[in-house]
Structure 1
Amino acid sequence: MLEGVNSTQSQRPTLAVVGPTGLVGQAVLEILSTRVDAWEDVRLLGSDKDAGRRLLVGAEEVEVEALDSESFYGVDVVIFATPPEVSAKWVPFATAAGSLVVDTSEAFRDDPEVPLVVPEVNARAIDNRPRGIVAMPCGPAIIMLPVLATLHEHWNLTHVTATSLQAVTGAGRVGAERLFAEVGALTGNPRVGQMPGDVRRYVADLPDDSPFPAPIVSNVVPWIGRHSGRGWASEETDIKHELRHVLQLPNLKVAVTCVQIPIVTTHMSTLHVSFDKKVTPSDARRAITEGANGAIVMPDEEGVDWPTPVDAIGTDPVWVGRVRQVENNPHTLDFIVCGDNIRKGAALNALQLAEMLIGVGPYAVREDDGAPTAH
């Protein structure tokens, strides 16, 4: 047991999941049953309206407890699968109680005292966590980073241009519900989308509380997030910052365009990447395949076998395909990455970090090899 956690030496640690009824929280519970049996107890903490619900954790039903200021005593690690405003309110109570925190939201991503960690890329960054909190990049960045890190290790990245095609669940359950509602509004009208304004007319009677700035059904929306200045959306500037931060490449040239697409789950990104060394597609495929990055490369040399969201959904790897040499440029490759944004882009990363905090799992840094110590 790492120094500073709440459990005694004779016990395995206790994990708490805050927000277990949300999309990410539910995925955390599903994935728990497939992970190493590292936890003595798993507690579920939720809102008053969720208190009393019973959810499966492995083969056992666990009752959701109402979250309050006393909830975290005796808990070693807490995963917050919550919106940023919930994390910002309740994480201080958890750290005050001596718990280590893994937060899946954006609440602490920009805090210089909170490490931003993707286990396959920068596991050792977890060592420096003076506030007792570990944060994660956003889902699209988590899906890109393991592959980019492997390629950088071999050929030294100089430039990344990405188009991030994002599923509606990037906005949470409300994003999925909005897509379902708009699909319902078009039901029985399969030819909608051929005349100016017809899609907007069909969805006009829906509530005006959509998380998207335009209709999402039969459409793509080239904007995700808030305005962050000079024509950039916040999701684009966040991904740029997170790629540089996790790769420890502050001067990396990055340009990102984020596009909302009408699928429920799984993000796909097209990547145009340059290096300061010559690289071939076959060497890149081999490096990604052999790297400890959780990625699977589709054998797409003939351009006929590549990943799509409907194939990647519900799986844990990052899927890579369409690896191509840019014409007349031996330093540059184009390829795609695809991954389940709820699992790989959030829940799995959170559980890997929680395991690292107690010194277990394939990415844990052992104490005899410079392991992190708890706060």
Structure 2
Amino acid sequence: MGYRVAVVGATGAVGREILKTLAEREFPIDDIVALASPRSAGREISFGDRVLKVQNLETFDFTGWDVGLFSPGGSVSAKYAPIAAKAGCVVIDNTSHFRMEPGVPLVVPEVNPNALKGMKHNIIANPNCSTIQMVVALKPLHDLFTLKRVVVSTYQATAGAGKDGMDELFAQTRGSFVNDPPKIEQFQKQIAFNCIPQIDRFMDDGATKEEWKMTVETKKILDPDIAVIATCVRVPVFIGHSESVVAEFEEPVDLAKARAALREAEGVILRDEREDGGYVTPIECVGEDATYVSRLRVDPTVPNGLAFWCVADNLRKGAALNAVQIAETMIALNLLPKHG
């Protein structure tokens, strides 16, 4: 017996990736529905070797559905996730709306699966894509040496802004070869052949909302005592987030032990060859499930410091895959009841 699964925001980049991931991982499904806004209702969308007809979220009844995988945008989740949860459907939400709410677990299955046992409102939050890959890489190191402080600079793909963000990069790149002026709509400045040190809005302390998310989410997922400062940059890459991470620990670090722990860690692939090309770049991680760690080395400027580079597919591990893994983990922990 499988589960009745609703995918909300099914026509978006993450929603499509969720459907693809569910099919690839053979998630136990008895029934599945693709939901989106009224303007998308009636469209057809692929699920494995099947074609689903998109239904209208606004008129959908979640009664009798077991799990809802949401990625429709924060304001839509804010309205419809509580409706689904009240109807008994366990919501796994990809937006930022519920992440810091008490009683809503913020979960990366390789890092803090037991947080799922603290669910109080039938809603579970999927963390920010940049936070997910960083904490997956940091968890085995934290277990060894106890994290004290993290300085991270991100190089985030346009897919983080959805299909429209990727389309803008494509259009500006193509236009540059025929001298068309760049049309700027999704980002604050031209993204083609450029880097933009702003993702989301600015806050009172000068950090952006994206940088704030990485700080508070890391504390909630991994350890509230860890100090985090992030600089988040949008770069002209379609898919795949990259991060330069400098971590300071409470205890002396041992590089050999760090390497061994990363090699054995769930969800991590260590590729750290000290030669030309002996590292993973964002274009190489597209379609992959793992967080790739490279350039691991001691930071000699602080006591007990390590530096590394990590990349991950932000649409998969940064969103769709993590959400599906949460549902799989709930099944393993007997936390996902069936209505059938």
Partner of 2:226 in structure 1? 252
Q: Secondary structure at the match of 2:294?
A: strand
The code of the aligned residue for 2:329 comes to: M
- Say whether 1:309 aligns with 2:282: yes
Q: Using a 3 Å threshold, how does the CA distance of structure 1 residues 37 and 223 change in structure 2: closer, same or farther? A: closer
Partner of 1:202 in structure 2? 181
CA distance in 2, matches of 1:281, 1:229: 39
Partner of 2:11 in structure 1? 21
CA distance in 2, matches of 1:71, 1:337: 41
Gaps of 5+ in 2: none
Alignment of 1:166-245 (within 5 A): 166-188=156-178, 202-203=181-182, 206=183, 210-245=185-220
- Say whether 1:155 aligns with 2:134: no
Partner of 1:278 in structure 2? 252
Q: Note if contact 1:51-1:63 (Cα within 8 Å) is conserved in structure 2.
A: yes
Partner of 2:297 in structure 1? 324
Q: Note if contact 1:300-1:323 (Cα within 8 Å) is conserved in structure 2.
A: no
CA distance in 2, matches of 1:137, 1:115: 10
Q: Note if contact 2:251-2:304 (Cα within 8 Å) is conserved in structure 1.
A: yes
Q: Note if contact 2:197-2:234 (Cα within 8 Å) is conserved in structure 1.
A: yes
Partner of 2:243 in structure 1? 269
The code of the aligned residue for 2:289 comes to: D
CA distance in 2, matches of 1:354, 1:69: 25
Range with greater deviation from structure 2 (49-58 or 334-343):
49-58
Q: Note if contact 2:191-2:236 (Cα within 8 Å) is conserved in structure 1.
A: yes
Q: State the TM-score, normalized to the length of structure 2.
A: 0.94
Q: Note if contact 1:126-1:372 (Cα within 8 Å) is conserved in structure 2.
A: no
The correspondence for 2:327, drawn from 350, 354, 364, is 354
State the 1:185 CA deviation. 2.3
State the 1:302 CA deviation. 4.0
State the 1:373 CA deviation. 7.4
Percentage of matched positions with identical amino acids: 35
Q: Note if contact 1:28-1:351 (Cα within 8 Å) is conserved in structure 2.
A: yes
Q: Note if contact 2:199-2:209 (Cα within 8 Å) is conserved in structure 1.
A: yes
Q: Note if contact 2:147-2:247 (Cα within 8 Å) is conserved in structure 1.
A: yes
The code of the aligned residue for 2:253 comes to: V
- Higher Cα Rg, which structure: 1
CA distance in 2, matches of 1:37, 1:243: 28
- Say whether 1:82 aligns with 2:72: yes
Gaps of 5+ in 1: 1-10, 190-200
CA distance in 1, matches of 2:168, 2:130: 21
State the 1:69 CA deviation. 4.2
CA distance in 2, matches of 1:131, 1:355: 19
Q: Note if contact 2:36-2:72 (Cα within 8 Å) is conserved in structure 1.
A: no
Q: Using a 3 Å threshold, how does the CA distance of structure 1 residues 165 and 217 change in structure 2: closer, same or farther? A: same
The code of the aligned residue for 1:289 comes to: R
- Say whether 1:287 aligns with 2:258: no
Q: Secondary structure at the match of 2:54?
A: strand
The code of the aligned residue for 2:199 comes to: I
State the 1:284 CA deviation. 1.1
State the 1:37 CA deviation. 3.8
Q: Note if contact 2:90-2:336 (Cα within 8 Å) is conserved in structure 1.
A: no
Q: Note if contact 1:127-1:373 (Cα within 8 Å) is conserved in structure 2.
A: no
CA distance in 1, matches of 2:21, 2:60: 27
Q: Deviations over 1:133-183 (max 9, x none)?
A: 000110000111111111100111111000011011111112112212211
Range with greater deviation from structure 2 (333-342 or 50-59):
50-59
Alignment of 1:121-160 (within 5 A): 121-160=111-150
Q: Using a 3 Å threshold, how does the CA distance of structure 1 residues 274 and 129 change in structure 2: closer, same or farther? A: same
State the 1:73 CA deviation. 1.8
Q: Secondary structure at the match of 1:115?
A: coil
Range with greater deviation from structure 2 (213-222 or 35-44):
35-44
State the 1:211 CA deviation. 2.4
Range with greater deviation from structure 2 (268-277 or 171-180):
171-180
CA distance in 2, matches of 1:224, 1:156: 29
State the 1:330 CA deviation. 6.0
Aligned-residue CA RMSD (Å): 1.9
Q: How many residues align?
A: 339
CA distance in 2, matches of 1:308, 1:37: 30
